[in-house]
Amino acid sequence: MKIGFIGLGIMGKPMAKNLLKNGYDLTVYDLVPAAVEEVAACGAKAAACIREAAEGMDVLMTMLPNSPQVKEVMLGAEGAAQWLQPGSVLIDMSSINPVASREIAAALAEKGVEMLDAPVSGGEPKAIDGTLAFMVGGKEAIFEAHKPLLKCMGASVTRVGEIGAGNVAKLCNQVVVAVNIAAVSEALMLGQKCGVSPEAVYQAIRGGLAGSTVMDAKAPMMLSGNFAPGFRIDLHIKDLNNVLDAAKSVDAPTPLASQVMEMMKILHHDGEGSSDHSALLKFYEKLAGEEVRA
Ligand code: NAD
């Protein structure tokens, strides 16, 4: 099986390396030549353009920032759609608007090319370990045929429904994560303001109903003032924008996502766009006029 892979950023690079470790024949492309060289040094073939990463491939995988980039790479003037052969499959692992996934799938279908939307949860550490969680939309038979490929990069690979369903699940995931981080920030500040150590509050509640994977990943970062990404505020704003767009199109209520989106936008304008999303705590610190620390 010949695989093309476009998008070698924080996530794409380790994911591509895990495919190589499993012996797949991989050709990689990114706008950043150094990223291509790094993955080529691990055994991939280097492509100099989209065409070289797409032409003659059985599967093309993409791991790009957002809908405009995936549309450009697939359907733009130099786009991969024109180089993919009938019977080949696009697996887009980027987190994008589900409406865009369906548009791209419809354009590819006209050329006999299938598509799965397969966004992930887990971040860079799980991309490196190959333990990401994949949420997949697309035809069941195409999903089953390509599950082993995704299993090289993920511990959990779940089909959610037809095309676009993977990105709907990812948007749901991003609402829960964003609101959870805001709640943890609010709680730690409340504890400190009431004169109780926020570290003690965290240790006391993490094993109970309030505990969560998000709390265990983010509270230690907050308590040590370490906001190195991780998952950047700007990427979460991108996801919440997609949440609000999708919600508007189906008239779904999203008061909490809207609120956290406003907090993240303020942080972006304060220069925190490249900080980890645990830096939501800084919004509370600004309101309270003091820092939360262990
Ligand atoms: P990133 O910005 O680090 O990487 C994106 C890569 O795409 C970059 O290397 C960029 O050069 C490349 N690129 C952009 N436009 C291109 C084009 N036209 N042609 C070729 N290459 C192009 O982003 P990331 O953190 O790797 O995230 C990728 C996707 O995964 C996003 O949708 C993000 O929301 C999602 N995601 C990220 C994380 C995380 O923790 N970083 C976790 C889960 C999901």
- Tens of pLDDT, residue by residue over 8-17, are 999 999 999 9
How crowded is the C-beta side of 209, counted as CA atoms within 13 Å?
0
| Cβ neighbourhood burial of 287 (10 Å; 0-12, 13-18, 19+) | exposed
Q: Return phi, psi of residue 136, to 5°.
A: -120, 135
* Ligand 1 interacting residues, C-beta cut-off 6 A: 6-12, 29-32, 35, 63-66, 69, 72-73, 94-95, 120-121, 123-124, 231, 235
Choosing from 6, 31, 93 the residue with most ligand 1 atoms within 8 A of its CB, the one to mutate for a pocket test is 31
- Residue 62 pairs in a beta bridge with 6, 92
pLDDT mean over 208-221 = 97
Centroid of ligand 1 to alpha carbon of 62 (angstroms): 9
CA-based nearest residue to 133, from 90, 169, 103: 169
What tens digit of pLDDT does each residue of 104-113 get? 999 999 999 9
- Work out which ligand 1 atom sits closest to the CA atom of 35: 9
- Residue 159 pairs in a beta bridge with 136
Centroid of ligand 1 to alpha carbon of 237 (angstroms): 14
What tens digit of pLDDT does each residue of 107-155 get? 999 999 999 999 999 888 999 999 999 999 999 999 999 999 999 999 9
Specify whether the CB–CB gap between 34 and 59 falls below 8 A: no
Centroid of ligand 1 to alpha carbon of 8 (angstroms): 7
Query: Which amino acid residue places its CA nearest to atom 3 of ligand 1?
Result: 9
Query: Which amino acid residue places its CA nearest to atom 16 of ligand 1?
Result: 31
- Work out which ligand 1 atom sits closest to the CA atom of 95: 32
pLDDT of residue 293: 87
How crowded is the C-beta side of 57, counted as CA atoms within 13 Å?
31
What tens digit of pLDDT does each residue of 19-33 get? 999 999 999 999 999
Query: Which amino acid residue places its CA nearest to atom 17 of ligand 1?
Result: 31
Centroid of ligand 1 to alpha carbon of 13 (angstroms): 9
pLDDT of residue 87: 98
Query: Which amino acid residue places its CA nearest to atom 5 of ligand 1?
Result: 9
Query: Which amino acid residue places its CA nearest to atom 34 of ligand 1?
Result: 95
What tens digit of pLDDT does each residue of 259-280 get? 999 999 999 999 999 999 999 9
**Alpha-carbon gap, residue 45 to 2, rounded angstroms:** 11
Provide the Cα torsion 280, 286, 289, 291; round to 10°. Answer: 30
Query: What residues act catalytically?
Result: 170
Centroid of ligand 1 to alpha carbon of 6 (angstroms): 10
pLDDT mean over 169-187 = 98
Share of the chain above pLDDT 70, in %: 100
- Work out which ligand 1 atom sits closest to the CA atom of 239: 34
If residue 61 lies in a helix (H) or strand (E), which one and from where to where? strand 59-62
